[in-house]
Structure 1
Amino acid sequence: MVVEDNVEALKQCDQAYEEEQKHYVPWELVGRPGNDSEILYHCYLIALEPGFSCDTMPHDILLATRSRLEFDDETLTFELDVDRGNLKIRMKYVRHIKLTSEEVLLCQKFQVTLLRLLLDHNQNKLQEALSGLNQNSQRDVFDYLLIPSTGLHENPSIDWTCVSSVLFPQENISDKHMDCCSNRVQGRYVHTVNGLICSCTLQNSLVVTPHDGIMYCTTGILDDLNSNSLLKRKRKWHGITLRFVGEPFLSGQLLFTVQNYLLGCRNQKTKGSRNAPVDLPPELCEVIMSPISSASILSFSYAPSIMHRIESFLIAGNLKRMLVDHCTQNDMIPRIKVVEAITTKNCQENLNLTPLATLGDSFLKYAVSQQLFKRHQNHNIGLLTEDRKKIISNKALCKLGCHKKIPGFIRIDRFDPKTWIIPGDNSRTYTLEKEQLSPSRTIYDRKKRMIEMKTVADVIEALIGVFLCSTSEIAALAFMEWLGIEVDSIYVPYIRPLPANPGEVVDLRFFETLLNQYSFHDASLLVEALTHGSYKRPENPRCYKRLEFLGDAVLDYLITMHLHNEHPNLSSRLLTDLRSASVNNDCYARAAIKAGLHQHILLHDSQHLKPRILAIVKNFKQSSQDSTSGWESEPVIKILADIIESLAGAIYVDSGYDKEVVFQSIKPLLEPLVTPETLKLQPGRELKELCEKENFVKKEEDGKLEVNANGAIYVCGLTAANKKTAEKIASMRILEMLKKNYDAGGSHIQPRLSCDIRQVR
């Protein structure tokens, strides 16, 4: 175990955590461009499949990389939440191609120009960004190509016409041929800021109006609209007098805005009016790129979000391969699960580590608890709890994770397209340093950042969860061993003094019926599970606490796994709420009372214990089982809950550490288990969400909880020995008053209401 065998490793990790943590980027997207006359690229088709219909539909994009990317499946699939709905992204390998140095430079110029304009919406930084294209980089940089695609999905190719649109300002405008013009506009030249231009050039282009710096995508020529048309238009356009009054206007739309399309629920939706058609006088337009369709421009507005997700997949792949080096069984893990495990809630994406961390946390607690229980059979619960804390605390897990270079893989920030580095734009100052993950694994470190200790611990737990739901408990234990947590599943006999004739002490038949016909092989375990700490006898020196320590962990894991399997598609928040509602003292205590278990507890020598239990049972029966206001303050509730857990621990040991036997025996006591349909939020959580929804002001100060509901003040005192319980009860009381007195329409203002909640000591 770490406590005994890995202390030195933990000490060595102290310094690692005190320093700033690294931020890894995949080596597959990094290189050092040279002077090769011909370069081999591996091409991937990024197919954009809209789940909606609109006038401008996105086109496919090609991703060209110097190195072959490693993906689990032939096709990588994910979705973006775009303005009109969901956009499905499918990425697959197409073939390798060779590009000349001139073609590479042209592709780089295209992507830097278009993406820089999309991100900045002005030309101020463009020349600076393009200035580095002809320079040989002496450092490792992001080195890949994003290229417009043409042709069928099965056989796509580079759309060189679109790529060449970036050359427009460098060409001799007067030499533009007229053969490509349609019959209705054949031979027509129009005046622009660039000079006379063939009208065919303007039908699909990216232009700017220099007087205000606004950029547009043009989509056609409006032959029936000019400043002389009969649409009662003046010869002024935004205050500017037009000179060439007979020339047709251009149809255009505002340049698309690059956003973070990975958000699980985006708040900033682009208004429909932004993409409404705009009439543009050609003489006020400066052509930047031509010919390039609005569909191609739209596609590249999604590119930063697409590449950020692809980069996450590649980073997850690097982490997965590092784990595969330790255990080949890890190769069965889906890459998307690793992405989920390294993505924190702060990223605000449609996946995060919370469900996996919840599962991994419960297994880690269970595995370590049973190991400590077997190894230290004479330790009391205090020592066992302290030993477990040394192993599974956030600090301990963080140190182990740092030692294995886990923090560098973690995604902690919401993606900001403005900070995304365009490949080929070497004007940005950034440094990529090569690092060896192992003798055969290389990665790049982009920058240093501070990561909270809890975040690293959460990722460790989430990775354990990945092994559990993707492979097996054995694989999860192997991963824990790699980290430095040695846990086994070897059976170890439980050695302790045996009380004589346990059948004379407890009603074995009652418990056999209660526990779904489970019959103890060693009934002395049942006696121990029902023995209170006040009961001191030489023949029975142990109370239920050790078995409760074990049973708590076993039940936690079993119920968490059950919820995860029964509701695999739930949101992380709802799954966490289900677990919280299912694994707690209130739930277990209610189960004990409903089953009549309190009549068979306990072996004790306390004068006050039984009367207090009977008082709690009477209180429980008189009130609704769903509304146990006030009873949570009773310490006896903890004892009733502990007995459920100690029984689980006793069955676990008696059955030879068989978790399924425990679940089948204890589950009937806990039924009906909470479901998404029957879930009721904890009062504190419900009050918080109500206040957020109705814009009530909730605050806690001076020993009281106060809610201002549009002028009506609701107050509950928080004077209590147990603050958590007092807050829970105060929230419940305020909720009751709000539901009774508050008019959701806001027209009914109630007077100041208050109550005082005091903890029963």
Structure 2
Amino acid sequence: MQSSESSGSPTNPLKRNFETMTNDASNPQQLTPYQLDVLKLGMMRNTIAHFDSGDGKTMTAVMIMKETAVSVRKQSSEKKVIISLAPTRNLVEQQFNALRENTDLMVDFYHGSKVTDIDGRKVDEWDAAVWEHETDKNRVMVMTPKILLDALRNAFLDFEMICLLVIDECHHAIGNHPYVIIMKEFYLNSVNKPRIFGMTTSLVLKKGVSSAGGCEAKISALESIFDSLVYTIQNSTELEDVRPSPSENKSFKNTKESTSDENRTSASENKSSTNIKESTSGTTKRKELHGTTPIRALSGTWGCKLDNGVDFYAYNISFISSVDVKYSSFVLLLESKIDDDVANLEMELYLVSKFVHCKVSSCVKLHLDAEQVAKGKCFQELFFNGIFAKYVPREFLLEPDQKLWASSYMYFLLPLESLDPFQISWKEIDSCVSAIEFIKKSPVLSGEEQSVDSIMTCSESTSLIHFANRSINKDDVTNVVVLAIHTGKIYSVLEVLQNETADSPFDGNTKKFPSFKSYFKQKYEINLVYPGQNMVLLKQSHRAHNLLVDFNNEGILHGKKIKAESCKVNTDRQRYYARLPPELLVILDTRIDVMKSIFLLPSLMHRLESLMLASQLREEITGHMTDIYISSSLILEAITTLRCNESFSMERLELLGDSVLKYAVSCDLYLRYPEKHEGQLSSERSRQVCNSTLYNLGISCRLQGYIRDVAFDPTRWTAPGQRPLRPCPCDHGVETLEVPVDPKYHTEEPKILTGKCCDMGHRWLGSKTISDCVEALVGAYFVDGGLTGALHCMKWFGISCELDPSRVYEAIKIASLHVYTPKLDVLQSLESKLGYEFSVKGLLLEAITHASNQEQGVGYCYERLEFLGDSVLDLLITRHLFNKHNDIDPGELTDLRSASVNNENFAYAAVRRNLHPYLQYSSGYLQTQISDYVKFVAISATDTNSLQTKKSPKALGDLVEGIAGAVLLDTKLNVEEVWRIFELLLAPIVTPEKLELPPFRELMEFCDSKGYFIKTKYISNGDVIVAELRLQLEDALLIAEGTGTTRKIARGHAALKLLSQLQNRGQGNRDGEIGTKNIKESDTTQAKITLFDVQPATDTTTANECSTEEESKSKLEIPVLKSINTKKGGPRSSLYELCRKMQWPMPILTSSEQKSKTLIEIGEGEDKRTSFNCFESHISLTIPNFGVIELVGEPRADKKSSFDSAALLMLYELQKLGKLKIG
């Protein structure tokens, strides 16, 4: 929002020259640098400033109002007022008093109890005359937002007269709060908008928020509502000397340390504050262009230096098939040595009806002379291009492109004759060299007339087949590997075609090409010498496939478990073969086993290259430390996103790493700042582990180049010396491999696709992916290296959490001073319940003391220990779930953690283990809450079918966390001892079989699996919210209502009732089938329509509700679709939106592929095209209380277009049936 202005621009009356401001007469209180920064920004633009408690936000607001009043008085003659809003009466009066004491402005306050001096009327009874009197009398008016809203709506106040609107506690602006309504109804519609200055103490994450993303979402929402930019402090050192201490007994001042030391996690060391709007780093919205880190192990210097040969490290690659199929072994030759856990790899590759076990093992160091290197390059160029390329230009066969061998990507993949003894198959390599030499000398590619003698001299025996370079017996042609002269493609021979020659009719356009002979003459300028000899049937080479995922069994796709039926490869697909004259084929003396193995190499090498990259990152992090070993496979898992569609991803490790980070930072802050209260510690922890901070740390360590964020595409993989099958030239305007960290390479454009690399390795990454990877790597180091390994990884990133034993002893010493003698018997009784005897009883006493006891003179409470205990329980439970349930997907693991680590679960454990009587508190209200909850737990234990729920008192969950923190300190940070105690105390810990999702979440997952839609409606009835949920099935409409103090609670109660109704109908789980009984078919010609035989409804939950006037009206109304977007995806979107609006179940689309040996015409008009294959889609739509409509769309060139065709026909069919109006 801030913009520079030219010198000729008119002066803004609300801006001042800050050089004229002083801190003496005009400033009754010396301001901190942060307050001065806020003051300057607040005078220039709409600003929301974040303050901690005691940071002087009231005085900052006073100074902004004072300076604004001076500016307006000097530069404007119009009637202007400053209005300051605060949500409570106390805050209104506090601001009023501050303004009256520190300024000479005419000011007054207004809230519900305010009365006029004349007739004693309250504010809500005032008329326009009274308000006009107030605005004439005062320059500043402090009031609650409801008072201002009512006055504006009644036109008692004119919004245009406001020059500055100060909004205190602006984080309350959610839902229909008056703050929100004022901004929407009046600010957005005003011509002369006032400047906005908002204040909040609640930008950071609070306890109970499940992710750091909630903080960023909150910031973005506030900025949008108030048309402002958030401004917050990052380095709190400057406030330490002026912020009041929360302790009642003594103050603590430390000017040498701050919560953001130079060696800690501040992402901007040279700035004390930051404008969050200027950086959406770490969010899912922002995408950034980044490069890909080159793999050092794949680089080579032997491309040009061949005089003395090259020394290689050799790694054997062998294949063993699950069926009787033989594969040749290969050797990988690298100039660099790779780590042992990468060099000795075993893995499975999954083919259609079998799997192949691959084994990589380190072998020997090998020397190749210059001639052998040249031959190896020739073999690799010929085979990988001949098998995987669509077409190899004759120029490439005659003059190989040296640019295909880059120094950053140099290795050999050569066939082996035997493993023991180790021997490269130079015979087969030499045959490829000979074949290239033969093609160079052959007159075939030049189009010259050839004589028989120029090709070969051989017997005219009919038992021989004349290939380009020699003749062989008909009986010996099967499985011969050949190279096509005219295309450079490699095939294997299946058989000799007895009744087909080059004079036979051509397969395709016989008018243009009457025979194969004429085809080759016209297409390639080749004159066949033996047109009368039999042609051969060839098995075509095919594209490389992704063999890393077993699509025949359950796998992971986009992070979700998928069943075999949804992705099974068609094992009955028709095979396609080529027919060619033998004289156009050069025989390669190469085993067919070599050709089969080459199809396995892209997937294997992709995995090997990924492990090399992971090993390289491990070396960066670990260095030369020998006491920490992390497997490269675990590092690979930590840098692999769900988009890679692997059987592993970073999600599980990210979840664990999040808990490790939270624990380590919590311990460090607790020990480092013994005088800070829980709120301050939570605020600083949130700042240190939020996505934005982790993103900046990852970027500073160049982590972005290591992240794998796209599924393996074999058509993009190339071996050294291979031409890319699908080149993707770089159009990003970056000439270097590494992309500079620059805002011009950042975007929030949703159409930008992430993951896909250009040929220079540049790709778009979601910025949150980088912060997630930081957490995942910390989790990986914790799994293999324990807490020591995790702390080392954190230190590499720049998060220095030093858990100094001396600080632990100091914390224990402070707790030992607590007086506990009168309560010693209580503590001993609690120790017996816990099964642990404290060496320092003061820790346990602090853990069970509620903050309300401080009013009785107690100088401590459990809040700091609760902060510590929350993090250690989070870590221990997450670790337990991670280790015990390694076969569940990341989403389910997250659900298990959420169900286990929460205040409700801890409070329930406190009551179940009878710990609540030991809580020390001085609050009658809390006593009532605890008593009611204890009764509820007792009742729910006997009535398991009850749908009633009750929120637990937060103090009970805090009690459990406080005790956990006390045990952790007493054991000197021994997390295993904490787990020994709390594993029993919290048992049983939820398992996947016992996991109960929140009712509305469970209902939504059921509906998503069935394609149902839910309509939600809320009604406010005083302090009670009523939620109504409507779920339309094929044959019934289910309706349920729930009540609660919030929408979430009311919606949950309604969802619980709907789930109960579904269970009664036998449909209460995601695998339940929806029955359609009593059906009869109507006579149709184009679409198959199965009508339901609708019976009178008897279920009161459906029939009675459906008979309301609203339902009757909706049945008579026919939806209108103005037009159909015929672009790709348009018809489907229109149909889906119609189904959502009408609450019809989602249509079911299935496609089938049709292939042809000849070209077929597809589409009409401009979309008309020809292809060898096409797709047809079948669509089925169920309309409740009507029937099922089924039809087949028109053939299209791709699957999604065929879906659109079927959807379009369905829309027109609905129009015919009177279910829809189009246009």
Same fold (TM over 0.5): yes
Whether the 8 Å contact between 1:563 and 1:578 is mirrored in structure 2 is yes
**Segment of structure 1 superposing worse, 245-254 or 487-496:** 245-254
Whether the 8 Å contact between 1:477 and 1:487 is mirrored in structure 2 is yes
Distance 1:64 1:275 in 2: 38
Aligned residue in 2 for 1:440:
none
Aligned residue in 1 for 2:481:
205
Matches within 5 A, 1:535-574: 535-567=853-885, 571-574=889-892
Aligned counterpart for 1:303 among listed residues 597, 601, 607: 601
Pairwise CA RMSD of aligned residues? 4.5
Is 1:34 equivalent to 2:304 in the alignment?
A: yes
Q: What amino acid does structure 1 have at the position aligned with 2:314?
A: Y
Aligned counterpart for 1:611 among listed residues 906, 924, 928: 928
Whether the 8 Å contact between 1:31 and 1:140 is mirrored in structure 2 is yes
Whether the 8 Å contact between 2:498 and 2:534 is mirrored in structure 1 is yes
Is 1:670 equivalent to 2:986 in the alignment?
A: yes
Aligned residue in 2 for 1:188:
463
Aligned residue in 2 for 1:148:
415
Question: Structure 1 residues 669 and 722, CA, compared in 2 at 3 Å: closer, same or farther?
Answer: farther
Whether the 8 Å contact between 1:219 and 1:293 is mirrored in structure 2 is no
Aligned counterpart for 1:272 among listed residues 554, 571, 574: 571
Aligned residue in 2 for 1:315:
613
Q: What amino acid does structure 2 have at the position aligned with 1:343?
A: T
Q: CA deviation at 1:652?
A: 2.0
Q: CA deviation at 1:85?
A: 3.9
Whether the 8 Å contact between 1:24 and 1:446 is mirrored in structure 2 is no
Distance 1:237 1:373 in 2: 83
Distance 2:470 2:774 in 1: 62
Distance 1:279 1:134 in 2: 30
Aligned residue in 2 for 1:290:
588
Partner of 1:221, secondary structure, is: strand
Q: What amino acid does structure 2 have at the position aligned with 1:258?
A: A
Distance 2:882 2:400 in 1: 51
Aligned residue in 1 for 2:1073:
744
Aligned residue in 2 for 1:53:
323
Aligned residue in 2 for 1:422:
719
Whether the 8 Å contact between 2:315 and 2:362 is mirrored in structure 1 is yes
Partner of 2:267, secondary structure, is: helix
Whether the 8 Å contact between 1:499 and 1:540 is mirrored in structure 2 is no
Distance 2:815 2:269 in 1: 38
Relative contact order higher in (CA < 8 Å, ≥ 6 apart):
1
Aligned counterpart for 1:399 among listed residues 670, 693, 696: 696
1:106-140 Cα deviation digits (max 9, x unpaired): 443443444345445x21x6557668734468964
Q: What amino acid does structure 1 have at the position aligned with 2:879?
A: M
Aligned residue in 1 for 2:939:
622
Matches within 5 A, 1:629-648: 634=951, 636-648=952-964
Q: CA deviation at 1:192?
A: 7.5
Q: CA deviation at 1:487?
A: 1.7
**Segment of structure 1 superposing worse, 615-624 or 462-471:** 615-624
Whether the 8 Å contact between 2:388 and 2:543 is mirrored in structure 1 is yes
Distance 2:468 2:1074 in 1: 57
Whether the 8 Å contact between 1:532 and 1:544 is mirrored in structure 2 is yes
Partner of 1:259, secondary structure, is: coil
Aligned counterpart for 2:802 among listed residues 488, 512, 530: 488
Q: What amino acid does structure 2 have at the position aligned with 1:205?
A: V
Matches within 5 A, 1:665-704: 665-683=981-999, 686-697=1002-1013
Structure with the greater alpha carbon radius of gyration: 2
Q: What amino acid does structure 2 have at the position aligned with 1:47?
A: I
Q: What amino acid does structure 1 have at the position aligned with 2:312?
A: H
1:578-609 Cα deviation digits (max 9, x unpaired): 433322233223212222333444413133x3
Partner of 1:395, secondary structure, is: helix
Q: CA deviation at 1:555?
A: 0.9
Q: What amino acid does structure 2 have at the position aligned with 1:740?
A: N
> For this pair of structures, how many residues does the alignment match?
727
Whether the 8 Å contact between 1:112 and 1:130 is mirrored in structure 2 is no
Aligned residue in 2 for 1:532:
850
Question: Structure 1 residues 683 and 16, CA, compared in 2 at 3 Å: closer, same or farther?
Answer: closer
Aligned residue in 2 for 1:5:
262
Aligned residue in 1 for 2:837:
519
Question: Structure 1 residues 394 and 281, CA, compared in 2 at 3 Å: closer, same or farther?
Answer: closer
Distance 2:701 2:788 in 1: 20
Question: Structure 1 residues 138 and 668, CA, compared in 2 at 3 Å: closer, same or farther?
Answer: closer
Distance 1:118 1:476 in 2: 46
Distance 1:565 1:661 in 2: 18
Distance 1:75 1:58 in 2: 19
Aligned counterpart for 1:257 among listed residues 539, 543, 551: 543
Q: What amino acid does structure 1 have at the position aligned with 2:464?
A: Y
Aligned counterpart for 2:783 among listed residues 469, 476, 481: 469
Aligned residue in 1 for 2:1191:
none
Whether the 8 Å contact between 2:294 and 2:408 is mirrored in structure 1 is no
Q: What amino acid does structure 2 have at the position aligned with 1:530?
A: I
Partner of 2:260, secondary structure, is: helix
1:216-238 Cα deviation digits (max 9, x unpaired): 8435435xx63399xxxxx8685
Distance 1:728 1:186 in 2: 87
Question: Structure 1 residues 629 and 5, CA, compared in 2 at 3 Å: closer, same or farther?
Answer: farther
Aligned residue in 2 for 1:449:
763
Identity %: 26
Q: CA deviation at 1:473?
A: 1.9
Partner of 1:454, secondary structure, is: helix
Aligned counterpart for 2:647 among listed residues 350, 362, 367: 350
1:335-375 Cα deviation digits (max 9, x unpaired): 22221222222212122222322222212211111121122
Whether the 8 Å contact between 1:47 and 1:60 is mirrored in structure 2 is yes
Aligned counterpart for 1:227 among listed residues 479, 499, 507: 499
Distance 2:311 2:969 in 1: 60
Q: What amino acid does structure 1 have at the position aligned with 2:809?
A: V
Distance 1:409 1:719 in 2: 50
Question: Structure 1 residues 298 and 715, CA, compared in 2 at 3 Å: closer, same or farther?
Answer: farther
Q: CA deviation at 1:721?
A: 6.4
Partner of 1:660, secondary structure, is: helix
Partner of 1:554, secondary structure, is: helix
Question: Structure 1 residues 601 and 2, CA, compared in 2 at 3 Å: closer, same or farther?
Answer: closer
Question: Structure 1 residues 395 and 309, CA, compared in 2 at 3 Å: closer, same or farther?
Answer: same
1:274-314 Cα deviation digits (max 9, x unpaired): 475x6765539953773445433332222222221111111
Q: CA deviation at 1:453?
A: 3.5
Aligned residue in 2 for 1:441:
none
Aligned counterpart for 1:66 among listed residues 321, 332, 335: 335
Q: What amino acid does structure 1 have at the position aligned with 2:786?
A: S
Q: CA deviation at 1:553?
A: 0.6
Q: What amino acid does structure 2 have at the position aligned with 1:227?
A: N
Q: What amino acid does structure 1 have at the position aligned with 2:1060?
A: E
Question: Structure 1 residues 281 and 422, CA, compared in 2 at 3 Å: closer, same or farther?
Answer: closer
**Segment of structure 1 superposing worse, 144-153 or 569-578:** 569-578
Aligned counterpart for 1:374 among listed residues 662, 665, 671: 671
Question: Structure 1 residues 127 and 536, CA, compared in 2 at 3 Å: closer, same or farther?
Answer: farther
Question: Structure 1 residues 76 and 275, CA, compared in 2 at 3 Å: closer, same or farther?
Answer: farther
Question: Structure 1 residues 492 and 38, CA, compared in 2 at 3 Å: closer, same or farther?
Answer: same
Whether the 8 Å contact between 1:347 and 1:412 is mirrored in structure 2 is yes
Segments of structure 1 that go 5 or more residues without pairing to the other structure are: 230-234, 436-444, 756-761
